[in-house]
Amino acid sequence: MKRQFNAQRLDVQAFAEDGAELSGQAELRSFARLSGESGGRGAERPVEWSAQGELLNPRHVHPEVWLHLTASAVMPLTCQRCLEPVDVPVSVERSFRFVADEETAAAEDDESEEDLLAISRAFDLLGLVEDELLMEVPAVPRHEVCPEPVQFSAADPGFEEAAPAENPFAALKVLKGGKG
């Protein structure tokens, strides 16, 4: 009989041992921090994700527990050039190796090329989906080409135009006594 897995309380070891797969779709509003990036717009937009467990070297004393994750969403953000809405696709495809605890993960992190996480019997897979997508949100979202031409000038009607500056060399000439 196949085991049932819950994305919010995932037994990572069992998930990898079974080579199980989970996938789903949730509304953007289900991910509070991700939804906050969009200013509450597009709350009904889908966030799609899938995960697959893998156990490498299963007969070894310490087999490697892996989780392969893919996720994607289209984020409704604000273009920082024209300040109009812009849809920005974000996606992630990443693999994680699970180790015994946080201390082991911290110790091996500098020498390891893969992403390391501490193994858990109640791992929040949806939290990981949100974390990974948040890291893909651009710091400065913008259109490739803004829909309206952007005005790059500013004018203050109360500002008086400054008088032209005096030539600094003319002032030096006066100091020297006006010799030519």
> For residue range 20-59, what is the model confidence (pLDDT) as tens digits?
999 999 999 999 999 999 988 999 999 999 999 999 987 7
Which residues of the chain have a pLDDT value below 50? Answer: none
Q: In what order do the strands lie in the sheet with 21-27?
A: 21-27, 46-56, 64-78, 85-99, 115-118
**Domain contains 123:** yes
**Domain contains 7:** no
Provide the number of structural domains found in the chain. Answer: 1
**Domain contains 40:** yes
Share the mean pLDDT of the chain: 88
Q: Write down the pTM of the prediction.
A: 0.78
pLDDT of residue 166: 76
The CB density around residue 8, as the number of other CB atoms within 10 Å, is 10
The CB density around residue 84, as the number of other CB atoms within 10 Å, is 13
pLDDT of residue 57: 82
**Domain contains 179:** no
**Domain contains 167:** no
pLDDT of residue 87: 96
* Calpha distance 129→90 (Å, rounded): 12
pLDDT of residue 112: 83
Enclosing domain of residue 119? 12-144
User: What's the first-to-final CA gap in the chain, in angstroms?
Assistant: 104
Amino acid code (one letter) for 53: G
